[in-house]
A and B are shown apart, each in its own frame.
Chain A
């Protein structure tokens, strides 16, 4: 998946597991940028009695690089607090939750938002209420209007924030990808797929939820004059020491916060970084990503595609055999695309290789027929220029790794015919619920009553 359970250790710590990051100029408020960091992957909607919630002991952050040095110039920190009204019942709610202040809601969360920049730490909001999880029609009736919308808060600097459960908006055919790359539209061509016939992709995240931290910030608040391109990533950190203290009723967490999860571009840690390095990668800051650049320049998957699909990718195989560094992938994922590569487009931040989602905020949103293939589909408002909730990042990255984008830097290269058709066979039509047209853009979470199967 984009970054769901992507590393062995963080897979055991879902509360701190970042799953997706989105950054885009808001289509309905084009003077703002929307930043979304998702956590707690693969939530079955019927998750009672302990429904999903943010970690009180986790510090969540969204970082913004404004000057191209691949370090955070602005960090938004989110700290959560859980309140349990009645510890003597096993119930999450004792009646319908009809508002964020409902007395029937037994276990709820609030949070604070702090902006850290060159001028110091600034509290932007405290006591901000999360919505409950979407339980079912009796417990959370009128979920979006009565509970989710009131949980969109305006911060002291005019930004808007939402933190709570959303429908998973990332679509991917996990079952095929991790079954030896048996991409469902093409499984008849897979070297192990003898006898299989082509079939449509299956969205493995359908009917699952996630927890989102969404921020909508005026562009002027997160850019500096003359530099419209920003780098964005999220991190989750835990305190260094935990002492299990059953006799005290709560564990002791102490020491400095230590980064345990991070995410910029989708699928980097998931697909490019090897298993033995993934959790270490999670602890590192983007500015130190030179140490991982080899995995981007020589992706293992690029070598696997010609093996899994014999005869389908002969030109990619030749690139692999020649050990050609994939400078196209380095540009897309680690530095941004310099001007002169794609006509009238750049999201270059500087030469320091760093995994950040790079957004050129001067490019207006595509409000009429946006292309889910983003820049590959001729839509410069989409991935890898930031990332919109609906962008088909799986297909874009599969095609890029298969060599489609190498021609941008080496005009003599002939792209394999199949490379431009690679996909896992899914589109937003394969979601179980639509995206929203407004902040926070990700759809209404599935409720446990109607979607109990997962």
Chain B
């Protein structure tokens, strides 16, 4: 699955710059350690049923629940708030990052069907 940075948009970059270093660092933390896992964990284990994941391709099923990290620090949850606007909340640990990425939102919505 693509890295979040692969979906980085000019709009996102502008938003991160405007929000300053704190938000930027949070976003980078999420995009770094969990970047590949965002889509993998979410698509594979959270948002869509296994049958749907299979239907849309095995790439969504790379994530396997890790009982050693049940505190949630390694889990990432996506909430597509507004697919048309590409508004996505990303939850991990005790942080939340809001992305605006129409392409990624559209992909997640498609995967959930």
Contact = CB atoms under 8 A, between A and B. Distances in A.
A118 interface: no
A240 B77 CA distance: 11
A135 to B, nearest CB: 30
B67 A248 contact: yes
Contact of B96 (A247, A248, A250, A255): A255
A345 interface: no
B93 interface: yes
Contacts of B91: 240-241, 254-255
A245 B77 contact: no
B94 A256 contact: yes
A254 B72 contact: yes
A243 B96 contact: no
Contact of B77 (A249, A250, A254, A256): A254
B70 A256 contact: no
List the 4 closest pairs (A to B, CB-CB), nearest first.
Answer: A255-B91, A254-B72, A254-B91, A241-B91
B67 A255 contact: no
Interface of A: 239-241, 243, 245, 247-250, 252-257
A247 B65 contact: yes
Given A254-B93, A255-B94, A256-B96, A243 B70 contact: no
28 contacts: A239-B72, A239-B94, A240-B91, A240-B96, A241-B79, A241-B91, A243-B46, A243-B75, A245-B65, A247-B65, A248-B67, A248-B70, A249-B67, A249-B70, A250-B70, A252-B75, A252-B77, A254-B75, A254-B77, A254-B91, A254-B92, A254-B94, A255-B91, A255-B94, A255-B95, A256-B94, A256-B95, A256-B96
Contacts of A239: 72, 94
A256 B91 CA distance: 8
A245 B79 CA distance: 17
Given A254-B92, A255-B94, A256-B95, 6 more contacts: A240-B96, A241-B77, A243-B77, A248-B67, A253-B72, A254-B75
Contacts, number: 41
A252 B75 CA distance: 8
A257 B94 contact: yes
Contacts of A256: 94-96
A253 B79 CA distance: 14
A241 B47 CA distance: 13
Contacts of B93: 254
A35 B47 CA distance: 43
A255 B93 CA distance: 6
Contacts of B77: 241, 243, 252, 254-255
Contacts of B72: 239, 252-254
A210 to B, nearest CB: 28
A250 B70 CA distance: 7
B101 to A, nearest CB: 19
Interface in B15-35: none
Contacts of A250: 70
